Amino acid sequence: MRLILAGEVESKRRGAFLMLMRYRGESVEELAGLVEAARDMAGPHGDLPTPWLQSPARLRSRW
C-alpha cells in the first residue's frame, strides 16, 4: 500500500490491485494497513502527497 500511496506503482497494476480488492472485499486487516500507511505518509498537517491520484492521461496537457 505504501508503494501505491507513494506513486511508485504503474496505473495498470494499481487499477488491477484495486479491482481485485473490490471484487473479493477488503478485510479489516487490509483496511487497517491502508490507514496505517496513509498516516505514516501524512505530513504534519495530515495532508497526503497525491501522485497516486494522477493518471498519465490527467498529467498530459488537454490541448
Q: What is the pLDDT of residues 4-20, one digit of tens each?
A: 878 888 889 988 988 98
User: Does the pLDDT of residue 53 top 80, yes or no?
Assistant: no
What torsion, rounded to 10 degrees, do the Cα atoms 34, 38, 20, 50 define? 170
Q: Would you say the pTM of this structure is higher than 0.75?
A: no
Residue 21 pLDDT exceeds 80: yes
Question: Where does the pLDDT of residue 49 fall: very low under 50, low under 70, confident under 90, or very high at 90 and above?
Answer: low
19, with CB counted inside 10 A (0-12, 13-18, 19+), is: exposed
What's the pLDDT score for residue 9? 87
